[in-house]
Amino acid sequence: MIIAGSSFAAMFFLRGLPENLRVLVVEKGTIQPHADQLENNILVDEDIPVDNRSGYLKRWKAHTLFGGNSNCWWACTPRFHPNDFRLNSLYGVGVDWPLGYDELEPLYGEVEQVMEVSGGGSDHILPRSTPFPYPPHAPSRTDVVLQAYSRNWFAQPTARSNGGRRAQCCVNGICDLCPVDAKFSIPNSVDLFAREGVSLLLDSEVRAVDLAGSVAKGVLVRDPKGAEHLLKGDLVALGTNAIWNAGILLRSGLQSAALGRYLHEQVAVTVLLDLGAGQRNYYGGTSITGHGYDLYDGAHRSDYGAVLMENHNAPSALRGEQGRWTERMRLKLIAEDLPVADNRVVLRDGEVVTEWGGHTDYGFKALDAAVAKLPEILPFDIEGQTVSPRLVSEDHIQGTHRMGVDPADSVVDPELKCHGVRNLLALGAGSFPTGPAANPTLTLSALSLRAGRAV
d(CA 283, CA 294): 24
d(CA 403, CA 244): 17
Buried b (16+ CB within 10 A) or exposed e, 327-339: bbbbbbbbbbbbb
Closest to 388 in 3D by CA, of 435, 333, 448: 333
d(CA 313, CA 115): 22
Q: At what angle do helices 8-16 and 101-115 cross, to 10 degrees?
A: 100
Question: Residue 278 CB: number of other CB atoms within 10 A?
Answer: 8
Amino acid (one-letter) located at 169: C
Degrees (nearest 5) of the Cα angle 48, 269, 47?
10
Residues 6+ apart with CB under 8 A from 308: 78, 291, 292, 293, 295, 296, 333, 334, 437, 438
d(CA 123, CA 51): 45
| Terminal CA-CA length for the chain | 10
Q: In this predicted structure, what is the pLDDT of residue 407?
A: 97
pTM of the full structure = 0.97
- Domain borders along the chain are 2-454
Positions of the chain with pLDDT under 50: none
- Tell me if 152 sits within 8 A of 298, measured CB to CB: no
3-state secondary structure of 34: helix
Closest to 260 in 3D by CA, of 271, 269, 247: 247
Superfamily, domain 2-454: FAD/NAD(P)-binding domain (3.50.50.60)
Dihedral over Cα of 138, 141, 144, 150: its sign: negative
- Tell me if 222 sits within 8 A of 228, measured CB to CB: yes
Q: In this predicted structure, what is the pLDDT of residue 122?
A: 57
Q: In this predicted structure, what is the pLDDT of residue 146?
A: 96
Closest to 135 in 3D by CA, of 104, 111, 169, 102: 169
- Tell me if 186 sits within 8 A of 70, measured CB to CB: yes
d(CA 415, CA 426): 9
